[in-house]
Amino acid sequence: MKIKYDRTADAVYIYLNDKKYAYGKDLDDSRRIDFDTDGKPIGIEILNVTKGVSTDNFPEQEKVIKLLEGKKIRIFA
């Protein structure tokens, strides 16, 4: 699992694994989960991260929270 932070876009992408993208599902206006052809999550896109992030409905939520906290991104409970 790795994280890519783009300050200019105020966005984060969290790579859960290296499988190929098949489709994505928006959780809301700022959060999207990408899936592989087997329907397993492969990544998480988060926009507007300087405002803080809700991790509700994220796969591997505890690991994702640790990654975000490591980048000093505020988490909403």
Q: Is the pLDDT of residue 60 over 70?
A: yes
Q: Is the pLDDT of residue 53 over 80?
A: yes
Q: How high does pLDDT run on average in the chain?
A: 95
- CA triplet 33, 38, 32: central angle to 5 degrees? 5
Q: Is the pLDDT of residue 77 over 90?
A: no
**Mean pLDDT over residues 42-52, rounded?**
96
**Separation of alpha carbons 30 and 67, rounded Å:** 18
Residues in the chain: 77
Q: What are phi and psi of 50, to 5 degrees?
A: -70, -20
**Separation of alpha carbons 18 and 53, rounded Å:** 23
Closest CA to 46 of 26, 66, 71: 26
